[in-house]
Amino acid sequence: MFGADYYVCNVSTCNRGSKGFVFCTVSCWDAHLGIVRHRESWAEDAQAPTREAHAREQAGKAKPAPASKPAASSAKPRGAKREPRRIIRRPAATAESAPHTATADPDDLPKDILVVVSKLKNYVKAKAGINCSDRVAGPISDAIRALCDEAIENALADERKTLLDRDFKKR
C-alpha cells in the first residue's frame, strides 16, 4: 500500500538486494529473529512511498544515468534533512526468559543425556570390539557436565561470555 507504515531490520544483510525484508508489525519482525542470528538488532519504522513518489522513482529508473554522475538514491531534493527514524529495540532477556544463568541452582539444571548413545556405542565397538550398555550414557553426561563447568569457570575468569575450545584445555 502506498504511504503505509512498515518496519525493517537494522541489520544491513537483511536489507540487501533480493532479500529486502519488510515487516508489518514489530511482532512480525521479532518472529524474523528466530530464523537469523543477529547479535544486536532492532526494528526501524519506515513508510512506503506515495503513489506519486513511486511513479517518479520508476520514471527515473527508465532513464540511463549520466556517466559522470551517480544516480540519485532518493526522491528527496538535495540538502533535505531526513526525518529521524523511530527505533524499537528488542526487550532485554530477563531472568524468566533466560533458561540458565551463571548463578543457577545445580538442582534446577536439566539432567538430560548429553551424548548420542548410538554414536557412543559405535565408537566403543570400533575402538575395543566390545558392547556398551545404555546405562553408560548417564555417567558420561555427568563427566561432560563436569568438564563444561570447569570450562565455564575458565571463560568467566577471562571475562568472556562465550565458551571456547581453549577453555577445555586449561588445567
CB atoms within 10 A of CB 76: 11
Burial (CB count within 10 angstroms: exposed 0-12, middle 13-18, buried 19+), residue 9: buried
- pLDDT class of 24 with cuts at 50, 70, 90: confident
Mean pLDDT of 68-86: 53
Q: In whole numbers, what is the pLDDT of the chain averaged over residues?
A: 75
pLDDT confidence of residue 143? 94
pLDDT (tens digit per residue) in 99-122: 445 566 667 788 889 899 999 999
Residue 1 confidence (pLDDT): 76
CB proximity list for 28: less than 8 A, separation 6 or greater: 7
Mean pLDDT of 74-80: 54
Q: What is the pTM (predicted TM-score) of this model?
A: 0.40
How far is 85 from 5, CA to CA, in rounded Å?
12
| pLDDT tier for residue 97 given thresholds of 50, 70 and 90 | very low
CATH T-level topology, domain 106-169? Histone, subunit A (1.10.20)
Alpha-carbon gap, residue 162 to 164, rounded angstroms: 6
Residue in 155, 129, 133, 42 with CA at minimum distance from that of residue 89: 42
What the block records as the C-alpha cell of 31 is 518472529
Write down the domain spans for the chain. Answer: 5-89, 106-169
Which candidate, 40, 39, 10, places its Cα nearest to that of 23? 10
Give every CB contact of residue 38 below 8 A, 6+ residues apart in sequence: 9, 11
